[in-house]
Structure 1
Amino acid sequence: MSVQFIDSKKAAQLIPDKAIIALDGFLGTDVPEEILENIKHRFETEGHPKEIDVWHASGIGDGKNKGTNNFAVKGLLHRLVGGHWALAPQLQPLAAHNDFEAFNFPQGVLSQIFRDSAAHKPVQINRVGLGTFVDPDISGGRLNDAAKADTLVSKVKIHNKDYLAYEVPKPNVALLRGTFADENGNVTFEDEPLTLVATSVAMAAHNNGGKVFVQVKRVVKSGSLKPKDIRIPGVLVDYIVETSNEAMTMQSTSTLYNPDFVHQNILKNVKDINVPLDAKKVIARRASMFKKDSDSIVNYGIGKYPETVSLILKEEGAADNITTTVEPGTFGGVPLGGGNFGCAIAPESTIDEPYMFDFYDGGGIDITFLGLAESDKVGNVNVSKFGPKIAGTGGFVDITQNTSTIIFTGTFTAGGLKEEVSNGKLHILKEGKFDKFVNNVQQITFSGPVAYENKQHIYYVTERALFHLVKDGIELIEIAPGIDLEKDVLGHMAFKPIISPQLHEMDKRIFQEALMKTNNNLNKAHRPMTTV
């Protein structure tokens, strides 16, 4: 069948009941928003398509009503398997009420699953997820009781090692967005900062006998596109949906720069960066000291603490030998945060998302800086689920299980915490309502025991205490000057950590205004590098 050119309303009419949809997108990048909105509108007016399955690798939406929030209508979904959920708050009440089967798998696993689906592989074999909530011995990635009827991941042994076998879907619909399509259905991505899983998703649906819909900005004449720019060959495409002007508000929101974050990161002269001295800067300073002096390939997670580490390395002149990576596919440049997370200004290169996770799975990153929401006595970390609130793992599981050095960053307590840094000390003005170091985390997004077995170097950096992972749990190795060990640290932990016989104060210069601008190698002698 030759490619057909239709509008988004017609596209929605062509989605069958019980469709298995493979959806591309990362926040607002590559999201076929106009098609999604019309699917929702058709269901609300006609009751079709109903009971659909949706598979997507990354978080898709704006945290309000865009992206996968369009599926938040009772009866529309039968199952949703997503890598990240925080951007779809409207789906979460429906998942909590068991209105559909809800699963959360690692982002990298899902990005590679589409490639495996295109090759008709029955399962994807991966070690990513072992010991976490994705492990079938724990919850198998299920997020609600409705999901208990199905098993999408199982455990197998290969060469006497445990692996996870993830079921591979057979999508009969692919929904994607590019920039330009020619008259033969070839699609390019000039105005999208990322290419994500577009090729894999299109190929998966096509090879499984399904239909491929691609929303584009404009249709151009055949022969006007460069062959190497085409990321979705026309032979894979069934329908091209040229977007209406009204839908362009969602088109490539990732190209809108975050002024504050961008302004500080693109400056070449470190003297122009001046991060205020507060608890956040203390955390980032101490975390940044784990970066090797040699060339390093680095990943920064989403959130203010990992992002501040990036700023501190710039401010204090230690970023020259760093190559940054972001999981949807960028190397180098300046990674963006907030609603533009995943993209970078002036990246050195951009590759497809499954290949970036191949790089991560093979240990390509030297060090990663990630957030710390909740940790427990054996070193597990939870960043994915808190009560009824589903954040999802994103690339967190993939990255933490395959990186040799991991630095978790965050405040020691949460909820109204107020602190100040003065006179070379940390002062707690008002303690947080919630303790982050608990007996058992609500969901295991990172497994301390698995990391120890894998001989990874794991550190937990807060503004008042620094821990590292050892055989029997986490060991306290440093506390901030001005902090009382019993009252301010142990008094806010549900368990007593191992306390190092060499417990000492963090370097006082971390708590001073001018620090490493003339001395990038601060505290080399104090830098704890344990072997596990």
Structure 2
Amino acid sequence: MSQGKFRTADEAVALIGDGATVALIGGGGGLMEPTHTFRAVSRRFLETGSPRGLTVVHALGIGDKKTEGLNHFAHEGMVKRVIGGHWVWSPRMQRLAAEERIEAYVLPSGCVMQLYREIGGGRPGLLSHVGLGTFVDPRHQGGKMNASATEDLVEVVRLGGREQLFYKSFPIDVAIIRGSFADADGNISLDQEAANIDVYAAALAAHNSGGLVIAQVRTAVDAGSLPARSVRVPGAIVDAVVVDPEQRMGYDLPYDPLVSGERHGPITLDPPEPLDVRTLIARRAYRELREGAIINFGVGIGEGVAKMIADRGETGRYHQTIEHGTYGGYLMTGTMFGYARSPSAMIDGPSQFDFYAGGGLDIAFLGFGELDENGDVNVSRLGGLTVGPGGFMDIAQNARKVVFCGTFDTKGARASVTPGGLRIERAGDVRKLVRRVDQITYSGSQALARGHEAVFVTERAVFELSRDGLVLTEVAPGVDMRADVLDAMDFKPLIPRAPRVMDAALFAA
């Protein structure tokens, strides 16, 4: 086998110049993350002080909430600007943003992926309705997450009588991507990966900006040995290939052909969850499903609905999707969110977000950090920390119906689920139903303008979005509506008629 484009990780990252704009690929838990190459970039900076002054761009959250992923770039001086879709996987980068040591921007994950495609196509930017009325809208914050972020990356324009957001293009100097196999010509196959995400779009953006594409793979193969249909990134746009024989599907997953979709097989289900508050919320949310619906689940309590579908053997009744580009199968949860066993299809992330933006989703089950009387939701800035929406905004703004799943309050809250209903043992120290959210990640007014539905399910009560405000529709048995619901909120919901009592069957063991 000839040397071709193969390089060591140290040789490859030596190609990254000071001040470069670098597109990073990966998802939380190590999904599609070129960890070996990321470590080499960090090592080079710590040893030599270079590369410095980078602009880092990433669509999804990348890391393990400790040291991996985006954390390898979280060195003061190494990075001057970060444009990220989701930050929670990198507490080091969150801290740099909070301390004003970097310029911090947040854009919706889908818009970042689609913007790569626009950059690669030589177009001036991305036109999208996603983000209107939220913190990404320049009439609010324009995606700027700290005082150091001063450049306007997003504009409001009007075309064909409709308002749109215009996400401006910028050159990508380097894309660090990942695959399974590479031949000496640099052709990259993703056959043994858990998702496609934005690998091709980022590589295209870098190449057509006159930049470099560095690809990490687990296995090198002879030129001409990869089937053409297995190649997802052609060697014509790849400059350097790094081989890491220890590359894993994820931090906690070496390799599983069921997850890559190479094989379909029986799944060993996790034990049923205990009947606690989170399970109760998922049970109630599950009742919003309808046969044949195309659905999406967000990280958190919404995952519990996916687990119920699997536990009940109902995966064939609905069309499940993940924003990473995966359809069907058995969705994995927690740190493995974004993975699925025995998926039925895998497409590229930008195309998946096209599907969402066009209104292809029937129902989405998502979490919420704060909810206010306008039906606005915040998941992107909590407790003063930059979190970012990930794909939340692209999904929530476009699904025909969104079921928000979350606890009524937080920080020290305790409640027990009993056959007779819900028993509140201690109220949380932090209210989540507030007069005004700290940051708008989901705009209730935009949802109403598009004719979409929104239901908010908590353990104590259920609310629905109406044109006049938030309506209280259900209350859990065992709960004092005045003391445990109305007096525990910062605003008064609409109560046009007496709320229903939640079905007692939800509380059965």
**Cα deviations across residues 20-72 of structure 1 (Å, max 9, x unaligned)?**
11111112122222222121122222221110111111111111111111111
Residue 482 of structure 1 pairs with residue 478 of structure 2:
yes
CA contact (8 A) 1:9 1:38 kept: yes
Q: Which residue matches 2:279? A: 281
Q: Which residue matches 2:296? A: 299
Partner Cα separation in structure 2 for residue 363 and residue 14 of structure 1: 41
Cα RMSD for the two superposed structures: 2.0
Matched ranges for 1:32-71 at <5 A: 32-71=34-73
Structure 1 residues 319 and 234: alpha-carbon distance in aligned structure 2, compared to 1, 3 A threshold: closer
Secondary structure of 1:499's partner?
Answer: coil
Structure 1 residues 487 and 267: alpha-carbon distance in aligned structure 2, compared to 1, 3 A threshold: farther
Matched ranges for 1:2-401 at <5 A: 4-27=5-28, 28-148=30-150, 150-243=151-244, 248=246, 252-253=250-251, 255=253, 274-292=272-290, 294-303=291-300, 305-315=301-311, 319-401=315-397
Q: How much does 1:317 deviate?
A: 6.0
Partner Cα separation in structure 2 for residue 65 and residue 505 of structure 1: 47
**Cα deviations across residues 85-139 of structure 1 (Å, max 9, x unaligned)?**
0001101111112222111100100011111111011110000000111000000
Secondary structure of 2:214's partner?
Answer: strand
CA contact (8 A) 2:310 2:330 kept: no
Partner Cα separation in structure 2 for residue 88 and residue 177 of structure 1: 20
Partner Cα separation in structure 2 for residue 421 and residue 504 of structure 1: 18
**Cα deviations across residues 156-195 of structure 1 (Å, max 9, x unaligned)?**
0011111000011211111111111111111111221111
**Cα deviations across residues 406-445 of structure 1 (Å, max 9, x unaligned)?**
0001111111222112233111122211111011111111
Partner Cα separation in structure 1 for residue 121 and residue 49 of structure 2: 34
Unaligned regions of 5+ residues in structure 1, if any?
259-265, 514-532
CA contact (8 A) 1:256 1:340 kept: no
Q: How much does 1:312 deviate?
A: 2.7
The residue type paired with residue 406 of structure 1 is V
Partner Cα separation in structure 1 for residue 413 and residue 21 of structure 2: 45
Which of 420, 436, 448 is matched with 1:452 structurally?
448
Deviates further, 456-465 or 280-289: 280-289
Q: How much does 1:314 deviate?
A: 4.0
Secondary structure of 2:31's partner?
Answer: coil
The residue type paired with residue 97 of structure 2 is A
Once the two structures are aligned, what percentage of the paired residues are identical? 40
Partner Cα separation in structure 2 for residue 471 and residue 494 of structure 1: 20
Q: How much does 1:313 deviate?
A: 3.4
Partner Cα separation in structure 2 for residue 56 and residue 273 of structure 1: 35
Secondary structure of 2:166's partner?
Answer: strand
TM-score when normalising by structure 1: 0.90
Q: Which residue matches 1:261? A: none
Partner Cα separation in structure 2 for residue 194 and residue 168 of structure 1: 25
Q: Which residue matches 2:261? A: none
TM-score when normalising by structure 2: 0.94
Partner Cα separation in structure 2 for residue 212 and residue 273 of structure 1: 43
**Cα deviations across residues 475-523 of structure 1 (Å, max 9, x unaligned)?**
101101111111000111011111131422112222223xxxxxxxxxx
CA contact (8 A) 1:174 1:212 kept: yes
Structure 1 residues 256 and 466: alpha-carbon distance in aligned structure 2, compared to 1, 3 A threshold: farther
Structure 1 residues 511 and 118: alpha-carbon distance in aligned structure 2, compared to 1, 3 A threshold: same
